[in-house]
Amino acid sequence: MLPFAATLVFAVALDWSTKALVMAGYMPKLGRRCFRHPLGKFPPGLTAALIILDVSLAFAASFISSPALQVALGLAAAGAVGNGVDQIRHGGVLDFIDLKVWPVFNIADAAIVTGTVLASITLI
């Protein structure tokens, strides 16, 4: 459970702090675009479902012995928490990393994708 919790806390803190730094103007946007999506990428009902999924992932992680899988689930959960809370508090999700070859995204989005890929690799 420790790898899950530590990863979750670290990734959420990194996501929220980078969003705060970008909004305050202390951190340059990576690329030239910065968006606050009014409804994020998900409708409100799906945001609530993702929060429920986070609780389920935390419960499931307590039964998983693989540290790599716990880290993967922690990353995915952190991404959902980061964007979910952003959506609830600000009415939208802030995206500020623009690599020009992918849609603009944020640390929470990267955590979700990385966690999903890591979980897939771990389970193969």
User: Which residue carries 């990267």 as its tokens?
Assistant: 110
| pLDDT at residue 65 in the model | 83
Residue listed under structure tokens 């952190």: 78
Average confidence (pLDDT) over 55-61? 71
72, pLDDT greater than 80: yes
- Residue 40 pLDDT more than 60? no
**Could you tell me if 57 and 5 are in contact, meaning their C-beta atoms sit under 8 angstroms apart?**
no
H or E, element range at 94 = strand 93-95
Residue 83 has pLDDT above 80, yes or no: yes
> In whole angstroms, what is the distance from residue 53 CA to residue 67 CA?
20
Burial class of residue 92, CB neighbours in 10 A (0-12, 13-18, 19+)? middle
Main-chain dihedrals φ then ψ at residue 75, nearest 5 degrees: -65, -45
pLDDT confidence of residue 30: 61
Task: Read off the pLDDT of each residue in 12-28 and give the average, rounded to a whole number.
Answer: 87
Q: Does position 20 have pLDDT exceeding 80, yes or no?
A: yes
Mean pLDDT value across residues 69-97: 88
Catalytic residues: 95, 109
Using DSSP's 3-state secondary structure scheme, residue 105 falls into strand
For the whole prediction, is pTM greater than 0.85? no
Question: What CA–CA distance (Å, rounded) separates 6 from 61?
Answer: 12
Given this model, what pLDDT does residue 114 score? 96
